[in-house]
Each structure stands twice: as C-alpha cells, then as structure tokens.
Structure 1
C-alpha cells in the first residue's frame, strides 16, 4: 500500500465515517486515497463510506471536527495541506486542547528532503503545534506511519482527551509500505502513567474518609466540570445525587452533565453564572469538584471562592489539576465514572444518608428569590426572550452551539440542558467564529437531531463563509444571529470599566446584510426579526422549516449579561443588574489589574 492508503485504512479501522478538510498539493495523495477508498467500498444507503466534508477554510474544518467530537464523544478528524493549511488549524487545535476535545489532525508536509529549506508552503508544524496540541508527530520514517496514525487515536481519546497532530511529508504519503493491520508506537512513559491512573481505585479507607467529611457537612455542594462529560459519567453523577442529595452546579463546559431542570440543579456558576448558584457556592461548607479545574472564570480570586467551605474534595483524571488552584483536603486521580460509582456503592452499603433538608430548603429559596430575569416589559426585543422562546420548542433536547460573546452567555443561562453533549461552546479559549462550523460538525454527528447555532453579529463574521457549507451538504441546521450591532461583551466591559469609550467595538457603521448573505449562500428560509410582537410566530416557523434556516434578530443593543462577577470581586459582590435580586452591594466598577476579561 502507499503511505496515503495506509492512513486511510487506519481511519477506516478506527471507524471514522466523516472527515473534514481542505485539499492542497502536499496532501493530495491522501485525498486521492479517500476518493478511491469510497469508490471501492460502496454503501447500500448510497452514502460514502468515509464522507469528506470540504469547508470554506481550514479553521472551519478544525471546528467542524471539534463539533463532531464534542457532540458524539468520538474522535474528530481533520485533514489539511501543508503551510497555510496547517497554520489555519492552530486555533482549532489550541481550542480543543484547552477544552479537552479528542481530535486527530493529519497535515500534509513538503518532502522530507525539503524540510527546513523554506520550500513552497512549508511550515514548521512540529514547532508551531507542539505548544498547542496534546502531542505532535512528524513522520520521517515511512515504516512508522501506520503505527503512528493508530497511536494518534489512542493518545487523542485516552486519559484527558486532546488533539493530536500527525505531520506527514509527501514522499512518506507516496512510499510503498507493507500493511500490518495492528501495532502502535511504544510510548512507554505515557502508557505507564496512563495505566497507573486507569488502574487507580478507591479503597475502603479512601471512601471512609470522604464520607466522614460529607456526613459532618451541613451544606455540601457538587461543582461539576467538563470532565464529567468527557468521562461519560453523567449517569453516575445522577445516581450519586439521587442517593445522597447534594445540589449540583456546573461550569460552562459541564452544562448537560446534570439535568438543569432537576430540583437540585443550580445550573451555571462563575463569572456569568446564575445568582443562586454563586450564592450557594458562597454558603456551602463542603465542595466536591468533579472534572473541574477551578479556572479563573469560576474561581476568580481563589481565596474568595467558596469561602465557608471547610472541606474540598476533588476527583479528576489529570493529576496536574489536583490542588493546582485551590488546595484539596481529599482527592482521587482516576476514571471519574468508576470513582463515582464506587463512592455511591460504598455510601449505600454503609447507610450514609446526609440530613440535608434545611440545605435543600435554602437552595430552593435561593432559586426562587434570585431567579434569572430581565426587562419583560421592554418594547425592544430582549435576547433572553429569544432564547426562552427557542427553549420552549427545544425542551432541552436540541444540540446548541454558540459563538463567543454575550450571546454565548445568554444561551448558557437561559437554555435547559437535560443531557450531555448537547451544549457546544468554546470555553477556555473563547474563540469567536466557533459556533457555525462546530454546529455543522455536530449535525454530521447527529443528522436527525435539531442543531441550533446561537451566534452574534461579530462572532459569526469570523467564519461566515461556512454558511455555504451548510447548504452545500443540505444540512437542516438552524442559525440564529443575535444582532446588537457590535462586539457586545467588549462594549459591556467598556461601559462598566472604561466610562463608555466604545473603542473599536461599535459596528453601527458596518453594512453587512446577514439575510442577503444567507440567501446568497443558498438558504431558502432567511429572515430578519425586528418586531417584538412577531417573536413567537417567527421562532416557530424558523424551527419548523424543513431544511437550513437563518434568522437574524435585531436585539436591544443595551442588553447586558447579568449576573456578572467583576475582576477582583467575590461572588458576594457580583453585579446582578436591575432585574435579578441581589443580597449585597456590587463591587466598585473601577479598572482592575486582574487578568480576568
């Protein structure tokens, strides 16, 4: 087989059914091998055995692969050419690394003899990607190609998931190679560390120490992160909560790990978390952190996070996260699902029943008094009302992707998330332009599900070329643009901390007609909503349309994201706005030296 054929056969063996990528000279052998593979393996349903989705830009391909991975739990695959093809993948790779998303990216590279000579479309992929990816391979020994590609999949999905990049020179793609059908690279150190983590179990003493602290607690709280979803541990979390009654609040990446409509759900915590979740964190005396890293958007000023917590327990697959930000009084490094199941079984067997009636009543009162709210009497279209209207139709079952900005936070706050892998967003990197291509990838992962991209007028501009990808492949994707004529989140900060100097964030002079752009790219249903009284009927028609649909909503340009924990402030000092009840004076709105944007 040629090296290119070896790559494609490994992809087939790994069960890859969808690829995302853009061709070019240095990757042509692989693209040709995909074409021939599909011709040689026809499917009865008429679809290609390995569908190759071509975006408008390689960055789009990376985010499509990431959206596919986030929505399915499988490894997403992107294939791009050398030079600019590879460098356009840097942002999706870093984004996936930051959010622990399993990707395999195969890049074409100039021939091995030309590496380092500044050849046409050469880029030092190993150097560039090495700081962004979980691992990078440059395959200069063709005999190692098969084992390398297979190992890339193992690395991407094992332990803490992440992106793995395989840089393949063109002569390696063309080399004649024997096919082995099995075998991976040794990676002795990684495999030893992985084996130690995966074989780690909670003993009776560990479980006993955990429950001794829990039974002393009066106000215990679970802080669930994206690691719960990555570990497929949502069912185990629900079983634990059903048994012991701990309320649950989730990070942005953890949304969906616990049914947000459940009585003990506190929804989102953190900088733009619900007021009642943040107040519960202020009040709790025991924190169980599950697959969460106490990042700056949640912990803010670490010393002020959960100030009354006498005991912090932490479960994670990554030993580097233990105690990194907040010291842990008890911890376990290992597979999260197995650890939760073990704790549940131990607690049940030993009759552990925390008496939390007063705490449950307190949490219910927090949810009632400090509920999410907004100006419902306004004649302007409120973005929160748009999300609520869509949510009434979706009922927590749609897959929701977002760009980055105010619309992202409104979606996180006002949508219900009843199950994992229905919320796709760029968390740690906060990458504008993520929403549309990620939604495309999710739609390929789940062709029969309702997939909605909630985007902003500034964010969607970043990858607006992918509107054509939606119609090219006939995807029934629903795209919503909440248009406030500018960079809304930046303007909110400028209003609060820079005395209203809207430097570069006001887009009122721009002349983008989003509806015509969508129509030009083939959207048969593309409308602009400008009247509040047409909201419900328009949303219903938009979601009911059988095919790609695009809706631009002209929202109140002064609508803000609240609650908001300002830089250097604690949850007790969060700004709740005019319509959410606060129990304390907000922090002074002065410029801060904090790095938290």
Structure 2
C-alpha cells in the first residue's frame, strides 16, 4: 500500500463515518486514496463508507471536526493541505486544545527533501502547532507512518483529550509500504503516566478524609466543569449529587453535565452565571471541583472566590490543574467517572448521611429571590424571549451550538440541557465563527437530533461561507441569527467600563441582508423576524421546517447580558441589571476604565 492508502485505512480502522477537509497539492495523494477506497468499499445503498465533507475553508473543516467530536465523544478528523491550508487550522486546533476536544488534523507537507527550503506552500507546522496542540508529529520516516497515525488517535482521545496534528510530506504519502494493521509508537512516558492516572482511584483513607470534611460542612456545593463531559461522567455526577444531597453549579463548558431541570441544579456560575449560582458559591462552606480548572471567567479574583469555603476538594485527570489557581485541601488525580463511583461506593458502605434541608431551603430561596429575567413588555424583540420560545419546543433535547458574544451567554443562561453533548460552544478561546461549522459537524454526528446554531450577526460573518455547506449536503441544521447590528458584548463592556466610547464596535457592517445571503446559498426557508407579536408562530414554523432553515431576528440593540461580574469584582459586587434582583447595593452602571476584557 502507499502511505496515502495507509492513512485512509487507519482512519477506516478507527471507525470514523465522516471526514472534513479541503484539498490542495500536498494532500492530493490522500484525497486520491480516499476516492479509491470509497469506490472499492461502496455500501449496498450506494453510499460512501468514508464521506468527505468539503467546507468553504480549512478553519470551517476543523471546526466541523471539532463539532463532530463534541457531539459524539469520538475523535474528529480533518484533512488539509500544506502551508495556508495548515495555518488556517491553527485557530481550531488551539480552540480544541483549550476545551480538551479530541481531534486529529492530518496535514499535507512539501516533500521531505524540500522541507526548510521555503518551497511552495511550505510552513513550519511542527513549530507553529507545537504551541497549540496536545502533540504534533512530522513523519519523515515513511516506515513509521502507520504507527504514528494510530498513536495520534490514541493520544487525542486518552487522558485529558486534545487535538493531535500529523504533518505528512508528499513523498511519504507516495511511498510503497507494508500495512501491518496494529502498530503504534512506544511513547513510553506518555503511556506510563496515562496508566497511572487511569488506574488511580481514591483509596479508603482518601475517601474517609473526603467524607470527614463533607460531614463537617453545612453548605456543600459541587462545581462541575467540562471534564464531566469529556470523562462521560454525567451519570456518576447525578448519582453522587442525588445520593448525598449536594447542589450543582456548572461552568460554561460543563453545561449539560448535570440536568439543568434537576432540583439540585443551579445552572452556570461565573462572569455571566445565574445570580443564584454565584450567591450559592459565595455562601457555601465546601467546594467540590470536578473537572473544572478555576478559569478566570469563573474565579475572577482568586482571593474573593468562595470566601466562606473551609474546604476545597478537587478531582481532575490533569495533575497540572490541581491547586493551580486556588489552594485545595483534598484532591485526587484520576478519571472522574471511576473516582466518583469509588466515592459513592464508600459513602454508601459507611452509611454516610447528612441533614441538608436547611442548605436546600437556602438554595431554593436564592432561586426564588434572584431568578433569571429580562424586560418582558418591550416593544422590541428581546433575545432571551427568542431563546425561551425555542426552548419551549425543544425541551432541552436539541443540540445547541453558538458563536461567541452576547448570544452565546444568553443561550447558556436560558436554554435547558437534559443531557451532555447538547451544548457546543467555544469556551476558553472564545472563537467567533465557531457556531455554524460546529453545527454542521454535530449534525453529522447526531443525525437523530435537531441541531440549532444560535449565532450573532458579527460572529456568523466569520464563517458565513459554511451556509452553502449546509445546503450542499442537505443538512436539516437550523440557524438563528440574533442581529443587534454590531459587536454586542464589546459594546456592553464599553458602556459599563469605558464610559460609552464605542470604539470600532458600532459597526459600519450593517448592509448585509442575511436572509438574501441564506437564500443565495440555497436555504428554501429563510426569513427575518422583527415583530414581537410574530415570535412564537415564527419560531414554531422555523423549527418544524423539514430541512435547512435560517432565521434572522432583529433584536433590541440595547439588550445586555446580566448578571455580570466586572473585572476585579467579586460575586458580591455582581451587576444584576434592571430585571434580576440583587441582594446587595446595586453596582455602579459605569466604572473606571480598566483596559481589561
């Protein structure tokens, strides 16, 4: 087999059912091998076993692969060419690294002998991607190609997941090789560390110390992050919370890891978290952090975070996250699912019980006193009303993707999520343009679910070319654009912290007719909504349409995202806006410019 044939065969052996990529000279041997493989292994229905989805550009391809991985839990694969093809993949690779998403990006590269000569479409991908990916391979010895590819998939999915880049020179793709079917690289250090982490469960001594601290607490709170999703630990989390009576707050990346409709759920915490989640964190005396990295958008000022907590306990698969931001009193490095189940088993074995009625009553009072809300009698369409209308129909079962900005936070606040892998968003990197290609990848991963991209007018522009990809492949993706004619989140910061100096956020880009753009790209259902009286009927029609649908909603340009914890502020200083009651003196509507974002 040629090296290119081996690339395709390894992908097939991994059980992938779809690939994403954009062609170019340095990756053509692999594309040709894929064409031949699909022709030789055509299904009885005429379908291809490894369909290749072609996007508008390589960034879109990699975000599709990431959306596929986020929705399915499997490794997503993107095939891109050398030079600009590979550099266009940098942002999605870094995005996936920051959010711990398993992805393999296979890049073509100039022939081995030409590396370092500034050959046509050459780029030092190993150097560029080395700072962005979990691992990067440059295959200069063709005999190691098969083992390298299998190892790339192993590294991407194991431990703390992440993206792996495999850079393959064109001569390696064309080399005649023997296919072995099982080879992997030794990577002994990685495998040793991985085995140690995967086999680690808290022993009886550690469990006893944990439950001693839990017994001494009166107001314990679980702080669950994206690690719950990555570890497939949602069921264990639910059992632990319900067995021992601990309320749960989640990070942006942890949304869906705990059913948002559960009585113990407090929703998202942090800069734009629910007021009651943030107040609960202020009031708790025991924090149990699970797969959460104490991100700055959650913690803010570390010394002011969880000020009454006498104990902070932490479980994470990555030892680098233990105590990185906040000192912890109890910790365990290991897989979340097995670790939680070990704690549950120990707690049941010793008959652990605690009277949490007072704490539960306090949490319910916080929910009742500080509910999420917005202006419900405005003459303009409120974005949260749009999300509530969609949520009433989808009931927490749809897959929601987003771009980045105000619409992202409104979606996080007002949608219900009954299960993991229904909420797909760019968390740590905050990458505008993520939502639409991620929705495409998610729809390929979960053809049985409704996939909705909730986007903003500025964010969707970043990868608006992928509208054509939706219709080209006949995907029933629903796209809703909340249009406030500008960079809404930036404007909100400028209004609050820069005294209304709307530098470059009052966009001159107001002329695009999004509906006509969608129609030009093949959307048969494409409408604009600008009358609040038509909201419910339009949303129902939009979601009921059998096929791709595009809805632009002209929303109130002055609508803000609240609550909001400003830079350098604590949860006690949270700005709750006009519609959410605060339990402290109202924060000033305008603050001294800080230069922080």
Residue 30 of structure 1 corresponds to which residue in structure 2?
30
Gap runs ≥5 in structure 1: none
For the 8 Å contact 2:403–2:425, the answer to whether it is kept is yes
Residue 374 of structure 1 corresponds to which residue in structure 2?
374
For the 8 Å contact 1:566–1:587, the answer to whether it is kept is no
Give the CA deviation at 1:16.
1.1
Residue 4 of structure 1 corresponds to which residue in structure 2?
4
Residue 286 of structure 1 corresponds to which residue in structure 2?
286
Give the CA deviation at 1:42.
1.2
Give the CA deviation at 1:593.
4.6
Partners of 1:112 and 1:586 in 2: CA distance: 64
The CA deviation string for residues 275-333 of structure 1, in whole angstroms up to 9 with x for no partner, is: 00000000000000000000000001011000000000000000000000001100000
For the 8 Å contact 2:318–2:333, the answer to whether it is kept is yes
Q: How does 1:227-238 map to 2 (within 5 A)?
A: 227-238=227-238
Partners of 2:92 and 2:447 in 1: CA distance: 23
Gap runs ≥5 in structure 2: none
Partners of 2:446 and 2:199 in 1: CA distance: 33
Residue 490 of structure 1 corresponds to which residue in structure 2?
490
Residue 98 of structure 2 corresponds to which residue in structure 1?
98
Residue 137 of structure 2 corresponds to which residue in structure 1?
137
Closer, same or farther: CA 593–504 of 1 in aligned 2, 3 Å: closer
Partners of 2:45 and 2:154 in 1: CA distance: 30
Q: Does 1:349 align with 2:349?
A: yes
Q: How does 1:117-266 map to 2 (within 5 A)?
A: 117-266=117-266
Partners of 1:354 and 1:469 in 2: CA distance: 54
Give the CA deviation at 1:587.
4.3
For the 8 Å contact 2:72–2:442, the answer to whether it is kept is yes
Partners of 2:294 and 2:128 in 1: CA distance: 28
Partners of 1:150 and 1:112 in 2: CA distance: 21
Partners of 1:464 and 1:189 in 2: CA distance: 43
Give the CA deviation at 1:199.
1.3
For the 8 Å contact 2:401–2:436, the answer to whether it is kept is yes
- In the alignment of these two chains, the number of paired residues is 596
SS of alignment partner, residue 237 of structure 2: helix
For the 8 Å contact 2:404–2:459, the answer to whether it is kept is yes
Give the CA deviation at 1:47.
2.0
Partners of 1:335 and 1:485 in 2: CA distance: 44
Closer, same or farther: CA 314–264 of 1 in aligned 2, 3 Å: same
Residue 512 of structure 2 corresponds to which residue in structure 1?
512
Give the CA deviation at 1:448.
2.2
Residue 45 of structure 1 corresponds to which residue in structure 2?
45
SS of alignment partner, residue 388 of structure 1: helix
Q: How does 1:365-444 map to 2 (within 5 A)?
A: 365-444=365-444
Partners of 2:202 and 2:502 in 1: CA distance: 54
Q: Does 1:479 align with 2:479?
A: yes
Give the CA deviation at 1:45.
3.3
Residue 526 of structure 1 corresponds to which residue in structure 2?
526
Greater shift, 583-592 or 356-365, is seen at 583-592
RMSD: 0.9
TM-score between both structures, scaled by the size of structure 1 = 0.99
For the 8 Å contact 1:10–1:150, the answer to whether it is kept is yes
Give the CA deviation at 1:584.
1.1
Partners of 1:386 and 1:508 in 2: CA distance: 25
SS of alignment partner, residue 528 of structure 1: strand
For the 8 Å contact 2:498–2:593, the answer to whether it is kept is no
Partners of 1:528 and 1:591 in 2: CA distance: 39
For the 8 Å contact 2:442–2:451, the answer to whether it is kept is yes
Partners of 2:167 and 2:232 in 1: CA distance: 30
Partners of 1:183 and 1:490 in 2: CA distance: 50
Partners of 1:430 and 1:591 in 2: CA distance: 25
The CA deviation string for residues 377-423 of structure 1, in whole angstroms up to 9 with x for no partner, is: 11100000000000000000000000000000000000001100000
The CA deviation string for residues 238-261 of structure 1, in whole angstroms up to 9 with x for no partner, is: 111111010000000000000000
Residue 576 of structure 2 corresponds to which residue in structure 1?
576
Partners of 2:196 and 2:6 in 1: CA distance: 32
Give the CA deviation at 1:586.
4.3
Partners of 2:558 and 2:155 in 1: CA distance: 46
Residue 544 of structure 1 corresponds to which residue in structure 2?
544
Give the CA deviation at 1:447.
1.3
Partners of 2:277 and 2:570 in 1: CA distance: 13
Q: Does 1:303 align with 2:303?
A: yes
SS of alignment partner, residue 463 of structure 2: helix
Partners of 1:403 and 1:585 in 2: CA distance: 33
Give the CA deviation at 1:510.
2.5
Partners of 2:181 and 2:593 in 1: CA distance: 58
For the 8 Å contact 2:499–2:593, the answer to whether it is kept is no
TM-score between both structures, scaled by the size of structure 2 = 0.99
